Amino acid sequence: MMAVSSCINEDIPQPIERVKVGQPLPDFSVVMNNGEIVTGAMLREGVSVIVFFHTSCPDCQQLLPQIEPLYDEYSALGVAFTLISRGEDKGSISAFWQSQNLTMPYSPQKNKEVYELFATSLIPRVYISDNQGIVQSIFTDNPIPSYDEIKAILEALL
Query: pLDDT tens across 105-134, in order?
Result: 999 999 999 999 999 988 999 999 999 999
Q: What pLDDT digit, counting tens, does each position of 30-50 carry?
A: 999 999 999 999 999 999 999
pLDDT at position 11 is 53
Give the count of beta carbons closer than 10 Å to the beta carbon of residue 37: 10
pTM of the model: 0.91
The pLDDT of residue 7: 59
Q: Could you tell me how far CA 55 lies from the centroid of its own chain? A: 12
Q: Cα–Cα distance between 10 and 124 in angstroms, integer?
A: 14
Residue 16: its pLDDT value, please? 77
pLDDT in tens, 132-147: 999 999 999 888 999 9
Instruction: Give residue 4's pLDDT band: very low, low, confident or very high (50, 70, 90).
Output: very low
What the chain holds in terms of domains, given with CATH numbers, is: 3-157 (3.40.30.10)
Whether residue 70 is predicted with pLDDT greater than 50 in this model: the reply is yes
Of the candidates 92, 79, 71, 88, the one whose C-alpha atom is nearest the C-alpha of residue 124 is 88
Rg of the chain (C-alpha set): 14
What integer pLDDT is reported at residue 1 of this predicted model? 33
Residue 12 has pLDDT above 90, yes or no: no
Q: How many CB atoms lie within 10 A of CB 25?
A: 23
In contact, 138 and 23? CB cutoff 8 Å: no
Lowest mean pLDDT across 15-19, 66-70, 83-87: 15-19
**Identity of the residue numbered 63:** L
- State the Cα torsion 93-57-134-158 to the nearest 10°: 70
